[in-house]
Structure 1
Amino acid sequence: MPFDPVKPSLLNTLVRHYDELVDRVRRRFGDRGFAHEVVHDVCVQLLEKRDKDGVHTPLALLHKISHDQAVSRYRSEKRRQSWIVTLPELPDTICESPSPQRYCEATRELEHLAQAIAQLPTRCQMVFVMHKVHEIPQAEVATQLGVSLKTVEKHLRLGMAACRDYLARLETQP
Structure 2
Amino acid sequence: MPFGPNLPLVAALVHHYEELVAHVWRGPVARWSDSAIAREVVHDVCAELMERPPAPPRTPLAFLRTVCTRRAIDRCRIEQRHAHWVDSVDTLPDTATLHDTLDPARILEGRQRLALLADSIHALPPRCRDVFVMYRIHGVPQGDIALHLGISTKTVEKHLRLGTSACRRALQEALHDMAAMP
Q: TM-score range by the shorter chain?
A: 0.3 to 0.5
Q: So what's the TM-score if we normalise by structure 1?
A: 0.44
Q: So what's the TM-score if we normalise by structure 2?
A: 0.43
Pair member with larger Rg:
1
